[in-house]
Chains A and B, each alone.
Chain A
């Protein structure tokens, strides 16, 4: 990127008066503003926080002995519950699909609408916004807060700041608590945390998320976006000339000058240098410098400028949501061209649709029984006294239903091979395996083949399992080994 650089005389470190290597954080006191984007931000905040705090308390009856929380990641029980969906550890690839959906959803939305994630839905943005609202309610708007900052430590300052930090800690504690409620039963763990009966791990994570919420939303704020978060960096790669980003319409606003009576609007720009756009920005940047890393695309500067434009009687949207291509066209007086459907968005959208379809298919086609057969490694085979060859297997039946089930098991493989399952030996009937609900049943089995039935050293062998109640069938392919 070529930017203008100016060449100046060098100044010695002593004269510079500030450390060229490290800079203190400049505290930002964003001003309150109302308008379209502020309303959308509030709506997003309320919906998202409501989901976050309320969902752990939703109940879903799954029968006795099974957790009744609608959304729960049960680490000790090795299950993840999401309403009617139950995920076993070997199905963790659903999480992969979820992450892929999230990623491509982000790519698509960003390439169309700019940094929508950063400005409206990112947890850092949402909680910082909430903490800023608390600060504004307790300490006052921008002017009052700047004055309070400069004031000496007195009764009012201590009370206001103390109240603010207390409120922040309460919100942070509720946030930390809600986090651990996704991993434990909500009513139980709330009671345990408050009465001192929770485990070390629960207290630790509760403390950790309380601390991080308090520190990141209360103190770090825009430093997270500017220095810590990797997403601003690759969101820049997701934008192109047809993405709608927060744009200061330079061709309309420049040259800027303070407002004077009887101004001739043909000879000057619409920008009256009121700096309201800077005052309301949560990251404290000047959007008139152009699209930059620190701009999270929240659009509050749009609302602020529209407010001012309305009051001075100029048309709104001096700062607006527009594409780079359109700005170039408008500057030349040409009509804007919208290119939301373009190769980039088509590709992102198609991949997103494919993954969504795949996940849906995977979820609906989920089997209710699974079979795993492990061939013994020591010994690979045993020669019996009559010369027949015996192989040992460990059968694992995964019963994913919520009732006890019985299964018929049979084998298909070398001629004359017989199956015997330890604990289920009977003279005439084929072995019947039973499994408890939502559990894995393990059985030892022997397959014996008469001498001479094996032409090769290794022969394929199939175990077939059929659910007696539902008729669902599954199988597992393994081998039968001989000398």
Chain B
């Protein structure tokens, strides 16, 4: 306790007793209501602790007298939203696929639902927006291996490709090189012809030789002029889209030991309405037929 205090001449308030670089501060009393408001906030905090989840126990936590749980609140909200959407989903389930695209409201619901389901289930392989990545086909272009109509797309999604499901799409290109069905020179010629189909061949003579081999070995699945056969899943070799690479070496490799992609069957894993929405979405990515 100091023996002397400094007081401001005008207000009579004491200084704090310190000096900072020549500046002194008056110790003006705080208003009592400020103090009481602070007490009120402390009391409020104590009540809040009692009512709501607050303190951790050893391996649990104090749940609060009101028993509020963010997890439960979320579950309630999800159930509420599911119930609200129930009517629309019911309508979507009962409408045939081709009529869905004619109804703007149903179309919007199906497209949005399909997009959400696509991003969760299909995007890991096919890429967001159906862009395709690596050896997984792009779904946004206008080239379809197994057909791009709404029904074709829905079947592909349902049963998959080489998925093991009895109704799955299935085909197998013979391993012309590995099984020694064609010689190395013949494979080279056929590859040259395939390049010629899209106008990129540099060896006309080889391409001519390859044309004969093509007519014998390849036309049955890939079509007489390489235009592809949707019923058998034979890709179009005359377009500019190459799933496994369009360079000479990649084409040779594919003839020698073909790659076969696998798409899982989604029937049983996704409900029919979701598969319908997915078909609408994929069909609407820009390349639907």
Contact = CB atoms under 8 A, between A and B. Distances in A.
B88 interface: no
A3 interface: yes
B140 A10 contact: no
Given A3-B10, A21-B30, A392-B286, A378 B131 contact: yes
B8 A3 contact: yes
Nearest to A379: B131
Chain B CB within 10 Å, residue with most, of A5, A8, A11, A377 = A5
B286 A23 contact: no
Contact-size category for A: 35 or more
A193 interface: no
Contact of B6 (A5, A290, A446): A5
A23 B32 contact: yes
A91 interface: no
A244 B3 CA distance: 44
A384 B287 CA distance: 9
Contacts of A392: 129, 140, 286
B138 A385 contact: no
Contacts of A378: 127-129, 131
A16 to B, nearest CB: 10
B29 A3 contact: no
B241 interface: yes
Interface string B110-143: 0000000000000000011111100000101111
Contacts of A5: 6-9, 15, 24
Contacts of B14: 20
Given A22-B29, A289-B10, A385 B240 contact: yes
B127 A379 contact: yes
A382 B133 CA distance: 12
B33 A382 contact: no
A379 B286 CA distance: 11
B7 A20 contact: no
Interface size class of B (residues with CB under 8 A): 35 or more
Given A5-B6, A7-B5, A383 B240 contact: yes
A384 B10 CA distance: 87
Contacts of B128: 377-379
Contacts of A446: 286
A120 to B, nearest CB: 25
Secondary structure type dominating chain A contacts: loop
B191 to A, nearest CB: 19
A382 B7 CA distance: 82
Interface string B1-24: 111111111110011000000001
Contacts of B138: 379, 382-383
Contact of A12 (B1, B24, B127, B287): B1
Interface string B238-269: 01110000000000000000000000000000
Contact of B5 (A10, A223, A377, A386): A10
Nearest to B128: A378
Contact of A376 (B7, B129, B287): B129
A19 interface: yes
A35 interface: no
Contacts of A290: 10
Contact of B286 (A10, A223, A382, A451): A382
B10 A22 contact: no
Contact of A22 (B5, B30, B142): B30
A387 B27 CA distance: 82
B7 A6 contact: yes
B275 to A, nearest CB: 22
B106 to A, nearest CB: 15
B236 interface: yes
A144 B265 CA distance: 91
Nearest to A20: B29
Given A379-B127, A385-B241, A451-B240, A9 B31 contact: no
A390 B143 CA distance: 13
A134 B6 CA distance: 43
Closest 3 CB pairs of A and B: A379-B131, A378-B129, A387-B240
7 contacts: A3-B9, A3-B10, A9-B3, A22-B32, A227-B34, A383-B241, A384-B287
Interface of B: 1-11, 14-15, 24, 27, 29-35, 127-132, 138, 140-143, 236, 239-241, 286-287
Given A11-B5, A21-B30, A382-B140, 4 more contacts: A379-B129, A379-B132, A384-B142, A387-B240
